[in-house]
Chains A and B, each alone.
Chain A
Amino acid sequence: MLYYDQNKNYRDFEVLRDENKCIQCQVCVRQCSYEVHTYDEKHDEVTADQTKCVGCHRCEAFCPTDALKIRKNQSEFRDNALWTPQYLKNIYKQADTGGVLLTGMGNSYPYPVYWDKMLLDASQVTNPSIDPLREPMELRTYLGAKPDAVEVHGGNGHPRLDTSFAPQIPIEYPILFSAMSYGSINLNIHVGLARAAEEMGTLYNTGEGGLHPTLYQYGKNTIVQCASGRFGVHTDYLNAGVAVEIKIGQGAKPGIGGHLPGEKIGPEISLTRMIPEGTDALSPAPHHDIYSIEDLRQLIYALKEATDYKKLVFVKIAAVHNSAAIASGMVRAGADVISLDGFRGGTGAAPTMIRDNVGVPIELALASVDERLRQEGIRNRASLVVAGGIRCSADVVKAIALGADAVYIATAALIAVGCTVCQRCYTGKCPWGIATNDPYLAKRINPEIAHEKLANLIRGWGHEIQEMLGGMGLNALESLRGNREKLRGVGLNETELNILGIKHAGA
């Protein structure tokens, strides 16, 4: 047996350097925060320690002469459908350390992606499609509890509304930026998200790390989060945004808490979370004041009382086996918005086993939650925002047809600012300057450019959503919401079709 790290040479990636193209400019040396590349002055040569490469492609993207390529390690083990290299490497690593395997981003296993097994309808002959370039197309969505009935009096062209509405948040696109804490990502990204949300008339979510003082100005576009660690939660914070989200769970790691390691708690993070520098920021698995639906109601109303009933209260749960029953309880507990996070949702750090083996695909959870709330006659009492692996505007449209009011995106937002989903967010060394608070690396994100790219993403998806809506002969997103007649399944069995509440293509 080997007496040193067996994984050292069973590395995941190879760094291929074309010596004919390399000009020893050392851009790769400076860009790689994992110290893969080093410059040997004596021989005027750049060399690579391939064992350290995480496959983030930062060096390849910045190489001015296109001399670098990152490939999967070509070295292959004997084929074995059960003992794939990933399991071998994990076991070697755990045999060396006795630790819990960590990873970042969302579930990477090839579970079925139901978005890819559903197709949208379009109008032909019998009902005209609508051209969004010449017709108005309504994407605005109002989040918040809707009354059971609307009473109006006084006709004669002067109707008056008698029903009083709970507070509503208008959003111009059905796409919100999902919770990512200051700590897991840096302030430059938060500024980019906040400004993009402001420009596009949507919302971003602070995550559980508190709100940096410079971000209070974006309050109209902010959801603040209250999680089990209660970091940076105080009255100014609760009143800073338009909504407070109680985070019960997260799709990437249902049922467990979070540990932001002490080395990531620098002066600014310390200030925002209000804990000493260098201390672990531990979020317990449950809120220890919530052990039941009744307790959840208690926190929802404590927050409403503390904010004078002016803020919406979101409650976020991970999609799990009995989400539908839980969601029913959440609505009855007084949640204005239910955030439902599927098992492909991302994270800055999660135990690999949890990320890859716990939860439910968001498509199925969404369909069952929406259906259950309709059956119980309480669907109007809360909006439904879904998250966890929304990759494109077609996923958004399908989610809305399944019954969502809006979607949350976070992984897609990070990809918009450069992320290559290398899944090493937990190291704090993100070479793209995203999942890091190292000032040298964080500077790689320019908040202005991040703002522009994020706004562009929403804008682009918005156009596509309008095109798809128009194609179906609809001129308002409201007409698509929960309209499962607009979806057909391909390659799905009877059970899956039943859960999704859709017919098979051709039927």
Chain B
Amino acid sequence: MEINAKGIYYRDLNKMIREAVAGGERSFVLRNINGQRYIGDGIEGKVKMDLYGTPGQDMAAFMKGPEIVVHGNAQDGVGNTMDDGKITITGMAGDIVGYGMRGGRIYIQGDVGYRVGIHMKAYKDKIPAIVIGGKAGDFLGEYMAGGVIILLGMFGEDRNGRPAAGDFLGTGMHGGAIYVRGGVDEHMLGKGLKPEEATPEDMKTIRPYLKEFCQVFGLDLNGILDGSFSKIAPATHRPYGNMYAY
């Protein structure tokens, strides 16, 4: 199903999509997307959407299963509390990507904003992952409870050589792992965290994500694997366990 979204109010557009999905439609091409919010929210099952333009806030929130390809940039809240599925963004994304994300994968070729991957969590084999080709703002992976964040710092806009990660990376982190290509200075990390060189075992863990990242954006995997990777893992699963007087 192809929709020219020009001038369509978000509520009408999303209703159209929901009704089409309920009617069995599995493939969408949305053209001239210009800031419409909540695209793909709560949609379940094997649905594929190609979005041309710039989708609005909270795209794919609470989404369970679909695959969304954004040919362009996305705004804030991509994959908010997302349950399952795959999001590919050829450009940049805004703040709070993957907040409280529980499963699925998000691939962003360019930079992302602040507070990305806050409180991602994992349960058994349900492990969410975010791969960022560019750089990230502050508070990446704050309160992280599970899952994988990979920050490459390679394909975004070079802003006077600023580091790939922002400050307060992984503050309050108590699960999951963050990988930063090219390393990260310890002073940028949340309290108690230390960057360590990724082991061959770690590289084995992240390789499938990197491979898919390269596949969707047509990039060279070896060019990425060339560099060194730092791993930031929680110091404890109980960061505030000793805070209280019983």
Contact = CB atoms under 8 A, between A and B. Distances in A.
Residue of B18, B37, B38, B145 ringed by the most chain A CB atoms within 10 A: B145
A274 B123 contact: yes
A460 B57 CA distance: 48
Nearest to B62: A306
B242 interface: yes
B176 to A, nearest CB: 10
Interface string B130-146: 00000000010011011
Contact of A278 (B38, B99, B237, B245): B237
Contact of A284 (B18, B37, B61, B118): B118
A301 B118 CA distance: 21
Contacts of B80: 289, 302
B18 A308 contact: yes
A270 interface: yes
Contacts of A228: 119
B241 interface: yes
B61 A288 contact: no
Given A262-B241, A301-B37, A233 B62 contact: yes
A276 B122 contact: yes
A262 B241 CA distance: 8
A233 B100 CA distance: 9
Interface in B53-96: 57-58, 61-62, 64, 76-77, 80-81, 83, 96
Contact of A101 (B143, B145, B238, B245): B245
Given A93-B245, A99-B246, A280 B239 contact: yes
Contacts of A93: 245
Contacts of A274: 102, 121, 123, 126
A120 interface: no
Q: Report which residue of B42, B83, B99, B237 has the largest number of chain A beta carbons within 10 angstroms of its beta carbon.
A: B42
B245 A282 contact: no
A97 B81 contact: no
Interface in A243-294: 259, 261-262, 270-271, 274-276, 278-280, 282, 284, 288-289
Which of A96, A302, A305 has the largest number of chain B CB atoms within 10 A?
A305
A61 interface: no
B119 A229 contact: yes
Given A276-B122, A282-B174, A284-B119, A261 B246 contact: no
| Main SS at interface, chain B | loop
Contacts of B241: 261-262, 280
B41 A275 contact: no
Contact of A305 (B38, B76, B243, B244): B38
A262 to B, nearest CB: 5
Given A230-B100, A276-B175, A298 B58 contact: yes
Contacts of A229: 100, 119
A230 B179 CA distance: 24
A278 B175 CA distance: 11
Contacts of A299: 58
Interface in A138-174: none
Contacts of B240: 259, 280, 282
A288 B115 contact: yes
A28 B88 CA distance: 62
Quick one: which of B77, B100, B143 has the most chain A CB within 10 A?
B100
B83 A289 contact: no
Interface string B155-196: 000000000000000001011000000000000000000000
A94 interface: yes
B37 A298 contact: yes
Contact of A302 (B38, B118, B244, B245): B38
Contact of A279 (B42, B142, B175, B246): B175
B145 A279 contact: yes
Contacts of B41: 302, 305-306
Given A100-B245, A276-B175, A302-B58, A282 B96 contact: no
B50 interface: no
B32 interface: no
Contacts of A276: 122-123, 146, 175, 237
A235 B64 contact: yes
B62 A235 contact: yes
Interface in A212-252: 226, 228-231, 233-235, 238
A122 interface: no
Contact of A234 (B18, B64, B175, B243): B64
B44 interface: yes
B77 A261 contact: no
Contacts of A302: 37-38, 41, 58, 61-62, 77, 80
A476 interface: no
Contacts of B64: 234-235
Interface string B103-133: 0000000000001001101110010000000
A464 B131 CA distance: 60
Given A276-B122, A276-B123, A282-B174, A99 B61 contact: no
Nearest to A307: B42
Given A102-B244, A233-B81, A302-B62, A289 B119 contact: no
Interface string B207-246: 0000000000000000000000000000001111111111
Nearest to B102: A274
Given A102-B245, A276-B122, A298-B37, A230 B81 contact: yes
B52 to A, nearest CB: 21
Contacts of A261: 238, 241
A233 B243 CA distance: 28
B34 interface: no
A259 B237 CA distance: 12
8 contacts: A230-B121, A270-B123, A274-B102, A274-B123, A282-B172, A289-B80, A302-B38, A302-B61
Leading 8 A-B pairs by shortest Cβ distance: A306-B42, A230-B100, A99-B245, A274-B123, A305-B38, A306-B62, A97-B245, A305-B41
Interface of A: 93-94, 96-102, 226, 228-231, 233-235, 238, 259, 261-262, 270-271, 274-276, 278-280, 282, 284, 288-289, 298-299, 301-303, 305-308, 426-427
Given A288-B142, A289-B96, 12 more contacts: A100-B244, A230-B100, A230-B121, A233-B81, A238-B42, A280-B241, A282-B143, A284-B143, A288-B118, A299-B58, A303-B62, A308-B18
